[in-house]
Homo-oligomer: A and B are copies of this chain.
Amino acid sequence: MGRVSQSHALPEPDPGPAQARGLRAQKKHQTRLAMHRAALELVVEKGLSGVTAQMIAERAGVSTRTFFNHWATKESAILGVVGDEGIRAVASLREKLEEMEARDALRAVLREGIANIPVDPGLRDLKKHVMAEEPSLQLISSGNLHAMQNELVDVIEEALDGEYARDHAVILVQVSFALTRSAFAISMRRGIDLVRAFDQVIELYDSGEFNR
């Protein structure tokens, strides 16, 4: 009965994709996946606005309350957001900044980031389809990126000099994220791998067509 509820019990991030330590963690991850899958399927069937949290919970075989114990919002269940990527990205950026230019470091981090997006193979196509159909989800998805932007700006600012260090950092981050978003769009449209699209975008961009 010792309900020592700590912080506002926000929906915790997912520990690991597959190799869960205990039986307990395994089950949890399983439940989570079931909800994510159910969410995707239902959105395909009925469209985003035609799906309620209750439906998703029901199909996944859990209570509505449990659903919201796992996901902060209906949309995050659909997107299958993990959460702690921001922290890793910042750490990764710090390391890279010691051996390369800010621009390249940032690009590398973003490339890493999108390469590590965990997608259950069975859900890959489903998710792609949903994302293509529901633009507002794209927006939310890039909104998740938004959260880490400021932190990245801070880190990069430290690595730059001059009066306009922060302005530089801001622009650099914004533009880099813009390229990432472009990669998302192009990947979706052409049906190609996201990382591949990212590389193509970088190449196109660096070709200089955009600076005159």
Q: How far is the CB of A20 from chain B (nearest CB, A)?
A: 28
Chain B: which residue is nearest A181 at the CB level?
B174
Q: Cβ of A73 < 8 Å from any Cβ of B?
A: yes
Q: Determine the main DSSP class of A at the interface with B.
A: helix
- Are A1 and B73 within 8 A (Cβ)? yes
Which B residues lie within 8 Å of A172 (CB)? 210
Which B residues lie within 8 Å of A208 (CB)? 211
Q: Cβ of A178 < 8 Å from any Cβ of B?
A: yes
Distance of A2 Cα from B53 Cα, bound (Å): 13
Distance of A186 Cα from B72 Cα, bound (Å): 31
- Are B75 and A205 within 8 A (Cβ)? no
Q: Cβ of A109 < 8 Å from any Cβ of B?
A: no
Mark interface residues in A146-184 (1 if CB within 8 Å of B CB, else 0): 100010000000000000101110111011011101100
From A72, A140, A209, residue with most partner B Cβ within 10 Å? A209
Q: How far is the CB of A32 from chain B (nearest CB, A)?
A: 19
- Are B136 and A171 within 8 A (Cβ)? no
Mark interface residues in A41-80 (1 if CB within 8 Å of B CB, else 0): 0000000110000000000000000000000110100000
Contacts beyond the supplied A2-B140, A103-B210, A174-B178: 18 A-B pairs with Cβ under 8 Å: A2-B72, A4-B136, A6-B49, A6-B136, A103-B212, A139-B146, A167-B186, A170-B185, A170-B186, A171-B179, A171-B182, A171-B201, A171-B210, A174-B181, A174-B182, A175-B178, A175-B179, A178-B178
